[in-house]
Structure 1
Amino acid sequence: MDRGARPTVREACPMADDDVWESIDHLHSWLDAHRTHGGREGLLLRILKLSEEVGEVAEAVIGATGQNPRKGADHTWDDVRSELCDVVITALVALRTLTPDAREVFMAHLAGVTERSLGTDPTP
């Protein structure tokens, strides 16, 4: 890689699909070990966390485009990307909270959405 070039996603984080789901499982376990609310309330709060993360995406987009005259351009598009990643991680952890089969549920849903949208099945 050229010294001035940015690393590719694979170079920066050579994580395989299995590693992603292993990380989601670890995050889920860590959050469960440190939760202050259990049961139905804990589940609802974990899902509600998605709204907070989506709000942070909106805040970053507003900041990246300078739409708040009081603050100006106080975010970057890298901030937006980071916040979008937080949304994805939070959603996957919430899904894992609902089912230990989160990976299978997600992959089946993704295949269905892909089939409806593109008319192809992404699985070999």
Structure 2
Amino acid sequence: MTDTTTTAPGAPTPDVWNSIEALWTWLESNTPYEGTTREGLLLRLLKLSEEVGEVAQAVIGATGQNPRKGRTHTWTDVESELCDVIITALVALRTLTPEAREVFTTHLTRVRERSVGTA
């Protein structure tokens, strides 16, 4: 396994799990509450709700549902906010367990098999 994968010639993209580990390490060394404390864990999990709220705000802005504000976001903004939710969730999972990659892979396999079968 390498640290990067290539999606287009000359365009390396970071390995997801190496990036999650780097973000988790950075957060652990730059926050007032370590993720291993109860407060740190709760705050890290609450961050996920904040990010989901930003998705909702972007969807409302992209569809112009607030007549006072009109269209304030694009669907590209929604995509970006969804990516933030995914990143935040994976960092939260890493906060719960150092085996986040294995936990996620096992769970994803179960969900895929339950939903679309093992084909």
- Verify same fold: TM over 0.5: yes
Letter in 1 for 2:47: K
Matched with 2:13 is 15
State how many pairs are aligned.
111
Question: With structure 2 as the length reference, what TM-score do the two structures score?
Answer: 0.88
Question: With structure 1 as the length reference, what TM-score do the two structures score?
Answer: 0.84
Matched with 1:26 is 22
Change (3 A) 1:76 1:24: same
Change (3 A) 1:86 1:13: farther
1:113 paired to 2:111: yes
User: Which 4+ stretches in 1 moved above 4 angstroms?
Assistant: none
Normalized per residue, the structure richer in strand is 2
CA apart distance, 1:13: 5.6
- The percentage of aligned residue pairs carrying the same residue is 68
For structure 2, the 5+ residue unaligned runs are 1-5
Structure 1 CA distance, aligned partners of 2:70 and 2:12?
36
Residue pairs, 1:1-124, within 5 angstroms: 10-11=7-8, 14-15=12-13, 19-38=15-34, 39-120=37-118
For structure 1, the 5+ residue unaligned runs are 1-8
Letter in 2 for 1:79: D
Tell me the alpha carbon deviations over residues 32-89 of structure 1, each in whole angstroms, 9 at most, x when there is no partner.
0011123100001001100000000000000000000111000000000000000000
SS of 1:15's equivalent in the other structure is strand
